[in-house]
Chains A and B, each alone.
Chain A
Amino acid sequence: MNRNYLSIKTIVAIGIGAALFMILAKFASIPSPIPNTSIQTSYAFLALMAAVFGPIAGGLIGFIGHALNDAISYGSVWWSWVIVSLFVGATIGLFAKRINIEAGGFTVKKVITFNVIQAVAQGIGWFLIAPALDILIYAEPANKVFAQGVFAGLSNIVTVGVLGTILLFAYAKTRSQSNSLHKEL
């Protein structure tokens, strides 16, 4: 059985996660001081889900959630950026064991690990993969797509760094710490 890599819980997490990702992308973006841009809270959520449920869930939540949001609100899917969401979710998920949020306790060391991972994953995704795919698929001018990529990347890295860390803290608080039991003497 495929139990190991795709448990029922992971399947449900992908489904609900994708729905939540979509709603956050659509409704819960915070207007920022720069005109026409907003802070995408959905990526902070994606980072949390990836850290809790692992790479497959992370990648698929990004992929399905982003594709659904594009399809339902714009009528067509911008595949190059959807693939970046898949990549970001999967990469953060790969290090889920490292962050080990289920064991409770989100220490300073874990905060740093999480932020390094998310910054690197998003950096590769938004600065390299997104523009490259844009040029390949849509033949758009290189400097335009790189400017877009750098901008989206920086704002998402900062968002996940701040909001994602807050979310992980809040989640860790709801878990009981792995060493919280002690023998009564």
Chain B
Amino acid sequence: MAVEMLSYIEKNTAVHRLTGVTKLLCFILWSTAAMLTYDTRILIFLFLMSIWIFIVSKIEIKEVSFVLIFIFIFLLLNNVAIYGFSPQEGVKIYGTSHVLFEIAGRYNVTLEQIFYQFNITLKYFTVAPVALLFIVTTHPSEFAASLNKIGISYRISYAVSLALRYIPDVQRDFRNIALAQQARGLDMSNKEKLPKRVKNAASIIIPLILSSLDKIETISNAMELRGFGKNKKRTWYSSRPFQKSDYLVLTCFILILAASLIITFHDGNRFYNPFQ
């Protein structure tokens, strides 16, 4: 049950030294740019740049390889599904049809479809490295502080921080309960019939939920006693002041977003069409 999860990786690089606020804002700007555009030229530029940032951050591939494998499998399945459901989507979008070869019925291979699916994959690849980097280079408690700084109420930021803090605890509780129930002969695998399996799952989940609800009681009492929520504002132990590099990086990212939006939409179409 030892499933790996992404978490903060301590290093001392230019990316790590940026404040959490900068990284959060850059991540949002970047995702917006990648989400809105379908222009291949911009996607390729963003992709190359994300690889460059990845190199600067000195995060090694093997530290995140398990996630990369997930992403590859997901993309493969997604591409197969897209082709299976809609082999003519590319033709519909780009308006032309350059058939390479026929398979059967409406299933033929067109340059447009290949180009369209290449774009979808590329789009995913431009977001993934930056998202990965954001997670592994931002300390969780600084993340909550950053959420507060960009204008989200500190109560909600604190809830996020609590969630991050309690994931390992809940995971340990879950494992203990699951092992204890399995020692008593509970089967969660394919060998058991489905209704029985659901019932077995319930007998793991119910104690987990009830013990967590008790935890909510304890934590909220402790916070109440320490006067949480008394003032309108709250300071954060891990928030850091802006440096010159923060302003510089933020300006760059805003320019990238603006440029990519202008290039994408100046001809009134999200898609870059090389077929016309």
Contacts and interface: CB of A to CB of B under 8 A. Distances in A.
Contact of B82 (A28, A68, A74, A140): A140
Given A33-B194, A48-B209, A163 B67 contact: no
B219 interface: yes
Contacts of B255: none
23 contacts: A3-B229, A8-B229, A12-B159, A12-B216, A12-B220, A15-B162, A16-B162, A16-B170, A23-B170, A31-B189, A39-B198, A74-B67, A74-B71, A75-B64, A76-B71, A77-B131, A137-B35, A138-B35, A144-B84, A167-B202, A167-B209, A170-B210, A171-B213
Interface in B5-51: 5-7, 35, 38
A14 interface: yes
Interface string A50-82: 000000000010001100100111111101000
B141 to A, nearest CB: 13
Interface residues of A, number: 60
A31 B190 contact: yes
Interface string B124-160: 1001100110010000000000000000010110111
B215 interface: yes
A170 B204 CA distance: 12
B118 interface: no
A41 to B, nearest CB: 6
B3 interface: yes
Which of the four size classes fits the interface of chain B? 35 or more
Given A74-B70, A75-B132, A75-B135, 13 more contacts: A2-B229, A11-B223, A16-B163, A18-B160, A18-B163, A23-B174, A27-B1, A30-B194, A64-B160, A65-B163, A75-B67, A139-B120, A144-B86
Interface of A: 1-3, 6, 8-9, 11-20, 22-24, 26-28, 30-33, 39, 41, 44-45, 48, 60, 64-65, 68, 71-77, 79, 137-144, 147-148, 162-163, 166-167, 170-171, 174
Given A16-B170, A76-B124, A11 B158 contact: yes
B161 interface: yes
A170 to B, nearest CB: 5
Lowest 3 A-B CB distances belong to which pairs?
A15-B162, A141-B86, A144-B85
Interface of B: 1, 3, 5-7, 35, 38, 64, 67-68, 70-71, 74, 81-82, 84-86, 89, 93, 120, 123-124, 127-128, 131-132, 135, 153, 155-156, 158-167, 169-171, 174, 178, 188-190, 194, 197-198, 201-202, 204-206, 208-210, 212-213, 215-217, 219-220, 223-224, 228-229, 270
B205 A28 contact: yes
A6 B229 CA distance: 10
Could you say which of A12, A31, A142, A143 has the most chain B C-beta atoms within 10 Å of its C-beta? A12
A20 B204 contact: no
B64 A16 contact: no
B170 A15 contact: no
Contacts of A167: 202, 205-206, 209
A22 B163 contact: yes
Contacts of A79: 35
A76 B127 contact: yes
